[in-house]
Amino acid sequence: MAVTERLYYSDSHLIEFDARVVDVTERVSGWAAIVLDRTAFYPTGGGQPSDTGTLNGARVVECIDDGDNGVLHVVQGMMPSRGAVVQGRVDWSRRLDHMQQHTGQHILSQAFVNLFNAATKSFRVLETSCEIDVDLNNPATEIIERAVELANNVVWEDRAIEIRNVTSAEAAELPLRKESARDGELRLIEIEGFDLTPCGGTHAYRTGEVGIIAVRSWERAKGLTRIEFVAGTRALADYRKANRSAREVAALFSTGRDDAPHVAAQMVEEHKELNRRIRVLEELAAEVEAEKLLADASQGVVVQVFNGRDAESLKKLAHALIAKPGVVALLASRDKDTARLVFARSADALGDMSVLMREACAMLDGRGGGKPELAQGGGKNVAKLDSALTHALTLLSHDS
Ligand SMILES: [Zn+2]
């Protein structure tokens, strides 16, 4: 005979109970691990997290299944003596949430078997959603949606859910959705006319209690399809969150929630087109700017420091400058705490830009390099930018 009678086996809605303390041990954490002669607390197992609640008002933070040794109630702030009678109370909102997810899983898993002969290989209740790994090769949207639709019809038909205790010989004759790893007596959960499976978890009285089942996402993982779903209160919370996000996005585009994807797609297209036009205009602007800089340059050498100009823009300007013969361009930009450099020369001009760049970057505590005609680099020592350019210019005059 097992130490702890598991009251949750026969009634998943029982949350208040009296029990006698069978054993108490102190854990490393200083908290008590209490074994009772009976409990309504569900311990972690089968993909379903533990219940929480109170014993004589003290917090039950977790319950652990210790097999035939009973259920360990890890309790903060109490150390009762053996034989004492305690009052237990299970947190109902957490229990209801777990029942909705767990029962929802039975229904959704059977829907995939029923429609696509795709078995569920594992199940987990996560923090805000749940996962099942289903043996499904082609998780097209339509396939997933058909299973979700069937599952919700079963929820709304409000079918009865019965617990049946059978011997393993009896179980062998029954069309169970999955085999049990246990020997001896089996606890079967039967959803009227839909699903029959061995399980030790807590389930709704009727399928209607699950409320709704919604799939959030799915992906192929390790040869299976991992499906993330939410049921009951989690589905409502998820809907609220999704609706808020969708409305916030729609507001950014000054449109309604359902029009937002279309409007956003249009914007993305426009954005790409604008970028293409900006690139063309930038090249034109660089040509004009290059003309002006060359008009002021002495002997074709342009030395110029800009503020907040990115490397791409510096390179564009450099290319526009060296399109003319006999030009050397030593360009730089201060951008917050970074100095950027682009050195370039026309094919017929003298000087090794990569050497100049290495020397200049060394002064900026940075790095740079490239080819004799074009080099780029940068550094963090922005204060030295002017002297780095002067140094590069000096080196250039030695070269020529
Ligand atoms: Zn179950």
| C-alpha dihedral sign at 108, 110, 111, 116 | positive
Token representation of residue 180: 């049990």
Separation of CA 243 and ligand 1 centre (Å): 30
| Residues 215, 6: Cα–Cα separation, whole Å | 32
Q: What percent of the chain has pLDDT over 70?
A: 99
Separation of CA 200 and ligand 1 centre (Å): 6
Mean pLDDT of 12-18: 97
Mean pLDDT of 362-387: 95
- Phi/psi of residue 160, nearest 5 degrees: -70, 145
- 368 pLDDT above the threshold of 80: yes
Instruction: Please state the separation of Cα 72 from the chain's center in Å.
Output: 33
Model pTM score: 0.77
pLDDT value of residue 325: 95
Separation of CA 160 and ligand 1 centre (Å): 14
Separation of CA 258 and ligand 1 centre (Å): 37
Q: Helices 260-296 and 311-322 meet at what angle, rounded to 10?
A: 40
What digits encode the pLDDT tens for the residues 70-129?
999 999 998 999 999 999 999 999 999 999 999 999 999 999 999 999 999 999 999 999
pLDDT value of residue 71: 95
Separation of CA 105 and ligand 1 centre (Å): 8
pLDDT value of residue 219: 97
Q: Which residues contact 291 (CB under 8 A, 6 or more apart)?
A: none
User: In the 3-class helix/strand/coil scheme, how is 136-194 assigned residue by residue?
Assistant: CCCCCHHHHHHHHHHHHHHHHCCCEEEEEEECHHHHHCCCCCCCCCCCCCEEEEEECCC
In residues, how long is the chain? 400
- 16 pLDDT above the threshold of 90: yes
Separation of CA 201 and ligand 1 centre (Å): 5
pLDDT value of residue 171: 87
Separation of CA 75 and ligand 1 centre (Å): 26
Mean pLDDT of 325-351: 94
What digits encode the pLDDT tens for the residues 309-334?
998 999 999 999 999 999 999 999 99
Separation of CA 175 and ligand 1 centre (Å): 16
pLDDT value of residue 68: 87
- 262 pLDDT above the threshold of 80: yes
Separation of CA 176 and ligand 1 centre (Å): 13
Mean pLDDT of 46-65: 94
- 14 pLDDT above the threshold of 70: yes
Distances (CA, A) of 146 to 3, 152, 153, 390: 45, 10, 11, 72
Separation of CA 9 and ligand 1 centre (Å): 11
Separation of CA 101 and ligand 1 centre (Å): 9
Separation of CA 241 and ligand 1 centre (Å): 28
Residue 335 binned pLDDT confidence (cut-offs 50, 70, 90):
confident
pLDDT value of residue 184: 81
Burial of 38 (0-12, 13-18, 19+ CB in 10 A): middle
Separation of CA 47 and ligand 1 centre (Å): 9
| Residues 92, 48: Cα–Cα separation, whole Å | 15
- 399 pLDDT above the threshold of 80: no
Separation of CA 81 and ligand 1 centre (Å): 34
Separation of CA 205 and ligand 1 centre (Å): 12
| Residues 229, 239: Cα–Cα separation, whole Å | 12
Separation of CA 41 and ligand 1 centre (Å): 15
User: In the 3-class helix/strand/coil scheme, how is the chain assigned residue by residue?
Assistant: CCCCEEHHHHCCCCCEEEEEEEEEEECCCCCEEEEECEECCCCEECCECCCCEEECCEEEEEEEECHHHCEEEEEECCCCCCCCEEEEEECHHHHHHHHHHHHHHHHHHHHHHHHHCCCEEEEEECCCCEEEEECCCCCCHHHHHHHHHHHHHHHHCCCEEEEEEECHHHHHCCCCCCCCCCCCCEEEEEECCCEEEECCCCCCCEHHHHCCEEEEEEEEECCEEEEEEEEHHHHHHHHHHHHHHHHHHHHHCCCCHHHHHHHHHHHHHHHHHHHHHHHHHHHHHHHHHHHHHHHHCECCEEEEEEECCCHHHHHHHHHHHHCCCCCEEEEEEEECCEEEEEEEECCCCCCCHHHHHHHHHHHCCCEEEECCCEEEEEECCHHHHHHHHHHHHHHHHHHC
Separation of CA 188 and ligand 1 centre (Å): 9
What digits encode the pLDDT tens for the residues 140-174?
999 999 999 999 999 999 999 999 999 888 888 88
Pairing relationship of beta strands 53-55 and 85-90 according to DSSP bridges: antiparallel
Mean pLDDT of 370-377: 96
Are 135 and 124 a contacting pair, CB within 8 Å?
Answer: no
Are 358 and 368 a contacting pair, CB within 8 Å?
Answer: yes
Separation of CA 103 and ligand 1 centre (Å): 6
Residue at token pair 């192929």:
220
- 298 pLDDT above the threshold of 70: yes
Separation of CA 26 and ligand 1 centre (Å): 32
Separation of CA 164 and ligand 1 centre (Å): 13
Separation of CA 36 and ligand 1 centre (Å): 24
Separation of CA 204 and ligand 1 centre (Å): 10
Separation of CA 32 and ligand 1 centre (Å): 29
